[in-house]
Amino acid sequence: MSKWVIGVIGGSGLYEIEGLENAETISVETPWGAPSDPLVKGQIGDVTLVFLPRHGKGHRLTPTAVPYRANIDALKRLGCTDVLSVSACGSLKEALAPGDFVMVDQFIDRTFAREKTFFGPGMVAHVSMADPVCSRLSGLAGDAAEQAGAKVHRGGTYIAMEGPQFSSRAESHLYRQWGCDVIGMTNMPEAKLAREAELPYATIAMVTDYDCWRDDSEAVSVSNVLEVMKNNTDKARQTLKALVGGLQGTERTASPQGIETCLDFAMITAPDARDPAVLAKLDAVAGRVL
């Protein structure tokens, strides 16, 4: 029976997972450098979890400085079958209140200072990002969040900004005009890289604030985010507990979206033109097809 091995990338406020059995801390070296922190791998029943704090313990890394490629490579290298991102975000819609959870299903990438692909000169590939989230994993996580007592919104567009500064009011109003639902700084290029690594990916976006588009309220600041973030983190822990509980005894089958084989249709560079040095760096993320 195929087992679930879920990589959990913890965002602001979530720096560890409780209740892991046979937990071991693993330092992973990747061709893309070191990940944000050593990874913690353990089991809860027959489900394996691999946890990685996105910003490192103590929140050392800015959104731009997060080693996204190394993080995804490390999760793939440790055998993850799926990746669940838990992320703080700002709301761009009145109905998405602080404390709510949004199961994001679309992204707009406005980051500009990050490496966004494992591929490049010597090995070119183009994966589809039309549907960037694994609908099955997102649905399971949303069900678990509801069991944990969260108010869950199914679907939503996440706009990723570079940061680390929060938005200007003009930017916040612009993103609302674009139809965006939430705003954050970290899910891109993370989702793109997960797709290149053939890892089904889903995001729980935990709303902490209304950004700064509401002219009748205080602009977002770290101080007024922290209290909401603490409550969100408690619900996130309960969500993970419920998710893992629901997977006990179940067999993991391939994603219905064919994510685990998406590279079959993505490779462009002819075999005789591929750079061996580039191929060597892709041993974990694309070894299946190379």
Q: Which pLDDT score, from 0 to 100, does residue 82 have? A: 98
The Cα–Cα gap between 5 and 88 comes to 23
The Cα–Cα gap between 223 and 221 comes to 5
pLDDT digits (tens, 9 = 90+) for 272-286: 999 999 999 999 999
Q: Which pLDDT score, from 0 to 100, does residue 35 have? A: 98
Q: Which pLDDT score, from 0 to 100, does residue 231 have? A: 83
**How far are the Cα atoms of 13, 97, 116, 175, 220 from residue 79, in angstroms, in the given order?**
25, 36, 22, 37, 38
- In terms of pTM, does the model score above 0.85? yes
Q: Which pLDDT score, from 0 to 100, does residue 219 have? A: 62
Around Cβ 264, how many Cβ atoms within 10 Å? Answer: 11
In the predicted model, is pLDDT for residue 221 greater than 90?
A: no
pLDDT digits (tens, 9 = 90+) for 222-274: 666 777 888 888 999 999 999 999 999 999 999 999 999 999 999 999 999 99
- Percentages of the chain per state (helix, strand, coil), in multiples of 5: 30, 25, 50
The Cα–Cα gap between 155 and 106 comes to 8
**How far are the Cα atoms of 12, 46, 133, 228 from residue 88, in angstroms, in the given order?**
6, 29, 17, 10
Residue 2: pLDDT band (50, 70, 90) is confident
Structure tokens at 282: 């892709």
The Cα–Cα gap between 109 and 129 comes to 11
In the predicted model, is pLDDT for residue 41 greater than 70?
A: yes
Q: What is the CA radius of gyration of the chain?
A: 18
The highest-level CATH class for domain 5-281 is alpha beta
Q: Which pLDDT score, from 0 to 100, does residue 223 have? A: 64
Q: Which pLDDT score, from 0 to 100, does residue 19 have? A: 84
Overall average pLDDT of the 157-178 stretch: 97
Report the chain's mean pLDDT, rounded to a whole number: 94
Residue 146: exposure state from Cβ atoms within 10 A (0-12, 13-18, ≥19) = middle
Angular region, 275: left φ>0, alpha ψ -120 to 50, beta rest: beta
Indicate the domain borders of the chain: 5-281
Q: Which pLDDT score, from 0 to 100, does residue 74 have? A: 98
Overall average pLDDT of the 195-208 stretch: 97
The Cα–Cα gap between 135 and 142 comes to 10
Catalytic residue numbers, as ranges: 209, 211
In the predicted model, is pLDDT for residue 12 greater than 90?
A: no
Overall average pLDDT of the 23-31 stretch: 97
Residue 10: pLDDT band (50, 70, 90) is very high
In the predicted model, is pLDDT for residue 1 greater than 60?
A: no
pLDDT digits (tens, 9 = 90+) for 129-162: 999 999 999 999 999 999 999 999 999 999 999 9
Q: Which pLDDT score, from 0 to 100, does residue 281 have? A: 98
The Cα–Cα gap between 159 and 156 comes to 10
